[in-house]
Amino acid sequence: MNDTDSRPRRSLVVVLLDGVLRLVAAVHSGATPTPKVREAGGRRGAGRYLLVAGVLAALAGTAVLVVILVRAPDGGTPPPDRAAALPGPQSPAAAPSVAVTTTPTVPGTTATPGATTTAPTTVTTAPAPSLTSKVPITENAPVPLTASYRTSSVTAGLLGYRMTVSVANPGKAAKDGWTVTVMLPRSTLRVSGVDGATAAQDGPVWTFTPDTTTALVPAGGAVELAFEVHGATLINAAPQDCRVDGNPCGD
Q: What is the pLDDT of residue 165?
A: 97
- Tell me how long the chain is: 251
Q: What is the pLDDT of residue 127?
A: 63
Q: What is the pLDDT of residue 159?
A: 78
Q: What is the pTM of this model?
A: 0.45
Q: What is the torsion angle, in degrees rounded to the nearest 10, for the CA atoms of residue 136, residue 139, residue 141 and residue 146? A: 100
Q: What is the pLDDT of residue 17?
A: 72
Q: Does domain 146-248 have CATH number 2.60.40.290?
A: yes
The Cα 207–Cα 181 span in angstroms is 4
3-state secondary structure of 199: strand
Q: 207: burial class by Cβ within 10 Å (0-12, 13-18, 19+)?
A: middle
In Å, how far are 77, 142, 147, 167, 169 from 219, measured between CA atoms? 130, 10, 14, 12, 6
**CA angle (210 as vertex; 153, 173 as ends), nearest 5:** 115
- Which among 132, 141, 221, 147 is positioned nearest to 179, based on CA atoms? 147
Question: In this structure, is the dihedral angle defined by the CA atoms of residues 71, 75, 79 and 84, taken in order, positive or negative?
Answer: positive
| Helix and strand element counts for the chain (H, E) | 3, 11
Rg (CA), the chain: 70
Instruction: Walk along the chain (251 residues) in steps of 10 and give the mean pLDDT of each run.
Output: 56 68 66 52 60 74 69 53 54 53 52 54 62 56 91 72 96 95 95 96 97 95 95 88 95 69
**Domain residue extents for the chain:** 10-28+47-78, 146-248
User: In sequence order, which residues have a C-beta less than 8 Å from that of residue 209 and are 6 or more positions away?
Assistant: 178, 179, 197, 198, 200
The Cα 244–Cα 180 span in angstroms is 5
Q: Which residues pair with 151 in a beta bridge?
A: 163
- Which among 246, 107, 235, 229 is positioned nearest to 179, based on CA atoms? 246
